[in-house]
Amino acid sequence: MPTPSASSPQPKGFRRAVSEQDTKQAEAVTSPRFIGRRQSLIEDARKEREAAAAAAAAAVA
């Protein structure tokens, strides 16, 4: 079964579509809403790690 190579011809609009998708994704990732949600998730994970470390320390002591 032949496998498509990376150099196989692509439709003309393919590269432009990928480029436009990258732009839209970059806009979404840099939106204030996304950044705020990301910060919230980072803080939640940090708090969970600290709580787990404290629980482990309490279990050892």
Tokens 């980072």, located at residue: 42
Q: Is residue 6, in this structure, part of any structural domain at all?
A: no
Amino acid at 40: S
Containing structural domain, residue 31: 16-60
- Residue 4 — pLDDT band, cuts 50, 70, 90? low
Q: Is residue 11, in this structure, part of any structural domain at all?
A: no
pLDDT for residue 11 is more than 90: no
Give the C-alpha separation, 55 to 61, whole Å. Answer: 10
Return the higher-pLDDT residue of 57 and 32: 57
Whole-number average pLDDT of the chain:
79
Tokens 């994704």, located at residue: 25
Give the C-alpha separation, 60 to 6, whole Å. Answer: 55
CB-CB contact of 31 with 37 (8 Å): no
Number of domains in the chain: 1
Please give the average per-residue pLDDT across 52-59, as a whole number: 94
pTM above threshold 0.85: no
Tokens 């708090």, located at residue: 47
